[in-house]
Each structure stands twice: as C-alpha cells, then as structure tokens.
Amino acid sequence: MTATDTCVIVPTIREYECVREYVANAREHGHADRLFFLLVTEDFCEVEAMEQMLDELDVAGAVFDGSDREAWYGEQGMSEYGHVVPAASHAETSFGLLYMWAGDFEYGFFIDDDTLPHGTDFFGGHYANLARDGQTREVASDEQWVNVLYQNHDEHGLYPRGYPYAAVDETVTESTATLDAGDVVASQGLWTNVPDLDAVRILMDGDLEGLAQTRTTADDYGEDFVVAPDNYLTVCSMNLAFRRRVIPAFYQLPMDDNEWDVGRFDDIWSGVFLKRAADLVGDRVLTGTPLCEHNKAPRPTFDDLNSEVPALELNEHVWEVVDDVTPERTGGARAGGTPALDGAEAYRAAFAAMADAFAEGDFSEWANGAFLNFVGEHMRDWLAALDALDVGARATQEVAADD
C-alpha cells in the first residue's frame, strides 16, 4: 500500500528534530509513503524551521500553531468547538484527531517529541500489531488493573503514571486469547531509558529532576499482551498507534488551562475511556513492542507534582465511573449488546454514555469533583465537534457534486 493512510501526530514545542529519526526509520522499512506528519505546536515556537524540516525530509506533512488551528476551525465551520483542544497543553493532540477525522486517514500515531525509535521497524511493528490475529497473551489482575510494566516488576518495582494507588500489590494472571484480524484497535509501544512515572513515584525513586533513578531497558519487556475485558491499564500517548474508528472515544481530555489547575491526566483518562469502549464493542488494546527510547528532559519533579495533585484522588475513581457505564446498542459479539452498531458509531455511543455519566454525576465527595463535570461537558462538545466536521464534509461533497 502506497497511499497516505496514516497521520503521525507529534505535539512539540522544541524537540521537533526527532521527526528526522522517525522518517529515516520509516524510509528504511518502506513505510514513508504512507505517512503524513502533523506537528502540533504554538505561535511562539519555530514554525518555519519545522516546515523547512518537513520539506527537507521530502515527506508529507503540515505544521499547525495556535493561529493555524483557529483558522482551520473556521474553514471547517466549527469555530464554536475550538475550546475542546486546550492551548499549550499535551492534550492538543486532540487537534490531530480532528484533523484525522476531517481527512481520509485510516490509522493514527501519537509520538512524543522526546522519543526516538529503536533500530527495529517502528511503524511496521505497530501496523503488524493492529493486524494481529491468532493466539496472544492476555493479562488480568484481581484489582481490575494491569501494570504495563508487570513483566519485570519484581526487579524494578515500578508502576506507570496514572496507575491507581489502590490497585497496587495486585495478583496477575496470564492466559491466552484468540484474536481475529481487526480486533486490535490500539497498539501501545512501551519505552526504554526514562520510565513514564507520576511525580509521587519519581520522588519515591529519589529523583528531583522529573526523571527517575530507575531506568528501563528492552530486557524489562517480554511478550506483547492484551489486557483482559473488564480490566484497565495506563495508556501513554508517547508511542501509540490506533485505528480511525476509535476517534470518537479517544478524546485527549482538557488539561492544564482550567480553574482546578488539573494536568497530566489527558492521555491516562482517555486511555481508560478507550479501554472501556473497546470492551463494550468487543475490540482489543495491545501493549508491548515496538519500543521507543524516552529521553525526557530534566525539570523540577515538584512542577509535575503541582499539576497532578489536584486530580490524584479523582484518578482513583474515574475508572469506576466508566466501569458502571453500559450504553444501549453498543456491544459487539463479545460484549453481548443487541443490536450492535458498527465501527465508529459504536465507539461514539459508548463515549456519549460516559460523557453523560460525568456531565450529570455528583462527585462532590472527592476533591475537585466538579472537574469531572467539566470533563463530561467537554466530552459532549468533542462529539459535537466531530458531528460538525461530518456536516462540513457532506456540504463540501454536495457542492462538488453540483459543480
């Protein structure tokens, strides 16, 4: 396949040169013609240099700063929904999802700008995961949470960012699942060098520079695995591939610029919602390879702590809210829903039910519980934004047909 069917979304402020390594890897393994590199940045960044880099690499792509995003919203007739993507936040990856939805992309990749691919076929590994069929390791735990770093946990003792503290010391069980081609909707690659930890765990690891004293290597990871239905996992967006149909349920949640000062849980909570939706539909999320090298820059650990503390209690309960959501007419064969919706519509139905649960719930017993109502309203607006893009696309097609 040579058509450009994959949107590679890179949120970046300063380390955009990582794209050169990813393009080189893609070109070496024959995938470059499939890729469109979308760099999501800000007005104060080196936009022209990013555009020049894409030109030099002779790869399809575009750079969108804040002004460009505003202009794009206007062109698409959805300016009223621009607020769903927060400015100067990692959650601006949601713009990439909107751009994908408006385009003809079948696959999406999230790549953080402080990562590099290993020498293996990075893009090919994710494509293979999304096409995975046959027998695959399935993991569950008695806490309904699977630590994605469980395979060498006895050695390093790590839990990733977003893993609930109430779910530690879990008992892991492994079994075998049989996958049909197309069941896997998201492929999460893990990381070597700096592990993805929250600030509390970084402090416990004795590091004041936002990194970790304990580092991970390829030897810490074994066989790829899927997490069993009705179990959850942390989904980090630094190294992730996914199918188009999950976009309605994969909104990267509004963080940083809110009255509660909540940050750092955008991809974590979106991953919880994606896993619940996938369970309801009967799809799978796979974790493991391909690995990336995570070269996180030093920064004060307490800065991250200040962003995480407002929602630490909420993080213990968000998954419980969605675990109780069972929307009608969402389920696939394994979920038992009847009648079933297909593809993106099934994910939309699942996400709409979750949005209602958050927008209308009473979470006053938890610190900053009103933030979850704020999230729920934004989830509703996310679905409305996708609807607006659909309306705009239909209007464009009708004009073209009339001409």
> What share of the chain has pLDDT > 90, as a percent?
90
Q: Note the pLDDT of residue 88.
A: 87
Cβ neighbours around 105 below 10 Å, total: 22
pLDDT band with cut points at 50, 70 and 90 for residue 1: very low
Q: Note the pLDDT of residue 327.
A: 77
> Which of 87-91, 122-126, 344-348, 385-389 is predicted with the least confidence, judged by mean pLDDT?
87-91
**In what helix (H) or strand (E) does residue 122 lie, and over which residues does it extend?**
helix 122-130
Mean pLDDT of all residues belonging to the chain: 93
Question: Which sequence spans correspond to the domains of the chain?
Answer: 6-402
Amino acid of residue 148: V
Q: How far apart are CA 266 and CA 237, in angstroms?
A: 9
Cβ neighbours around 200 below 10 Å, total: 16
Q: What is the mean pLDDT of residues 197-214?
A: 96
Q: What is the pLDDT of residues 244-286, one digit of tens each?
A: 999 999 999 999 889 999 999 999 999 999 999 999 999 999 9
Q: What is the mean pLDDT of residues 150-179?
A: 97
Q: What is the mean pLDDT of residues 103-132?
A: 97
Q: Note the pLDDT of residue 119.
A: 87
> Which of 22-31, 157-166, 253-262, 363-372 is predicted with the least confidence, judged by mean pLDDT?
253-262
DSSP label at 216? B
In the predicted model, is pLDDT for residue 351 greater than 60?
yes
First to last CA, the chain: 31
Is residue 179 a contact partner of residue 232, using CB atoms and an 8 Å limit?
no
What's this model's pTM, rounded to 2 decimal places?
0.94
Is residue 124 a contact partner of residue 31, using CB atoms and an 8 Å limit?
yes
In the predicted model, is pLDDT for residue 13 greater than 60?
yes
Q: Note the pLDDT of residue 395.
A: 55
Is residue 383 a contact partner of residue 355, using CB atoms and an 8 Å limit?
yes
Kindly tell me the number of DSSP H helices and DSSP E strands found in the chain: 13, 13
Q: Note the pLDDT of residue 337.
A: 42
User: If 0-12 CB within 10 Å is exposed, 13-18 middle and 19+ buried, where does residue 82 land?
Assistant: middle
Q: Note the pLDDT of residue 326.
A: 83
Q: What is the pLDDT of residues 78-110, one digit of tens each?
A: 999 999 999 889 999 999 999 999 999 999 999
68 to 13, 112, 321, 386: CA distances (angstroms): 15, 20, 36, 19
Q: What is the mean pLDDT of residues 229-248?
A: 97
Which DSSP string corresponds to 323-364?
HT---TT---TTTT-SSPPPHHHHHHHHHHHHHHHHHH---T
Q: Note the pLDDT of residue 257.
A: 85
Q: Note the pLDDT of residue 339.
A: 38
Amino acid of residue 201: R
User: If 0-12 CB within 10 Å is exposed, 13-18 middle and 19+ buried, where does residue 59 land?
Assistant: buried
User: If 0-12 CB within 10 Å is exposed, 13-18 middle and 19+ buried, where does residue 402 land?
Assistant: exposed
Q: How far apart are CA 198 and CA 162, in angstroms?
A: 7
Is residue 338 a contact partner of residue 370, using CB atoms and an 8 Å limit?
no
5 to 8, 108, 120, 178: CA distances (angstroms): 10, 9, 21, 27
Cβ neighbours around 24 below 10 Å, total: 13
